[in-house]
Amino acid sequence: MNRVKTIFICLIASFVMSGFLNPIGLISEPVSQSLGIPITEAVARFGYFTVGVFFGYLVSFFVFDFIRLRLVVIFGYGLLMLAVGGLFLFENDAAMKFFLFVIGMLASVQVCGASTLVSSLWRDKPRQTMLIGQDAAFNGGGILFTSLTTWFIASGFHWGATYTLVAIITLIIALVASVTDFKSKSSVYNDLTGRTEWNPRILAVGGSVMLFMLSKISIFIWAPLYVEQAFDADIVQAGRILTNIFIGAFFGSLLGTYIVSRIRIEYFLITMLIVGATSLGSMLSSPDLQLVLTLGYFLGASIGATFNGYTSFGLSFVVNPTHKNVAYLLIAGGIGSALAPWFSSEIVKYGGEIKYVLGVCLLIQCLVLLSVICLILNSWYLEKRLARNEN
């Protein structure tokens, strides 16, 4: 039972992050109307959340050196619930920015803690399977929370109604963590404060992760608004594209969880990036709304397991990963996520149409694919050179 509770805590952190992050593309317009500001400024407001995520990853780089992981989980989720309450109690622009920042910071610390726990308790294929399983939890949350958000908005509820539900979930996690022992006797448990190994390849993976997350979050934010602008769709149809993306992402991550238990993670990454670039390019060139909605499944499947696939890919370059290795990759992704709202809003302002920002996302995905191929070729070269030296 303790092992089941530990797995639950490892997976649910991504589920909670999904509840805060993925509805942004749907609630930006209600926020715009509520505050009386342009849609691009409303999207930029959520940059305070993504910047909070980034700072949370910075905090994660050090916090586990001084505070036990279990205490961070218990008190972190408790504070997260209070921050959501503050978002509703103090309804003004300054309070919104502050509490979105705090929510992002606290949620990202929990994600780093969960990934660190996975990296400490599992090795090799079991580790990458659990990391992809975290993506499945994130994408499953995307299906649930985007569907609920669409219904809440269509029914006239407050734009933050979904956040209230997520706050309740955080309370449940804190209670479960309070009765869970994070050490597993059946697994090799690393000292989280051990020596951290660095090399150029894991550092390069961080740069690739940053670009990928910049593209990924921009797609999540602007895909519903693209459907509204390009096809004159209503909120229900706009919500469908995001829901379809997360349905595809969920099943893609479930399938990916099985696939990465059978093949090397780099082959999986290349395949997903090719599918993603092809799907996004087809969406931008299609004049048919139904085809675009269908392509959302494939786009979602392509990005569903890729982030934690990157984490597993990066950790494969070090012998004994520590929380600092995990935090570095999360920080790199956090930089991309933090920049996404402002970066994408500026592109829309400059270009005047939402399709331009999705076009830039397509270009970024192609660059990411190229970077992964270069890393793989470099690894093969180093392995062959090492083998020749040993002979």
Residue-range domains of the chain with CATH: 2-179+196-390 (1.20.1250.20)
Distance from C-alpha of 329 to C-alpha of 219, rounded to nearest angstrom = 21
pLDDT higher than threshold 70 for residue 292: yes
Q: Rounded CA gap, 51 and 340, in Å?
A: 10
C-alpha 213/C-alpha 339 separation (Å) is: 9
CB 54 within 8 A of CB 214: no
**Best CA proximity match to 139, nearest among 53, 292, 25, 253:** 253
C-alpha closest to that of 273 among 183, 140, 371: 371
Question: What is the reported pLDDT for 279?
Answer: 92
In this structure, of 97-101, 276-280, 328-332, the range with the lowest mean pLDDT score is 328-332
Write the pLDDT tens digit of every residue in 258-280: 776 677 778 888 888 899 899 99
pTM of the model: 0.73
Radius of gyration of the chain (CA): 20
Q: Give 179's DSSP letter.
A: T
* Distance between CA atoms of residues 331 and 80, nearest Å: 20
Structure tokens at 325: 């290795």
The CA-atom distances, in angstroms, between 350 and each of 40, 44, 222, 236, 344 are 11, 15, 15, 28, 10
Q: Does position 374 have pLDDT exceeding 70, yes or no?
A: yes
- Number of other residues whose CB lies within 10 A of the CB of residue 309: 27
- Which percentage of the chain shows pLDDT scores above 90? 16
Judge whether 10 and 137 are in contact, CB under 8 Å: no
Residue type, 258: Y
pLDDT band at 229 (very low <50, low <70, confident <90, very high): confident
Average pLDDT over all residues of the chain = 82
361 has a pLDDT exceeding 90? yes
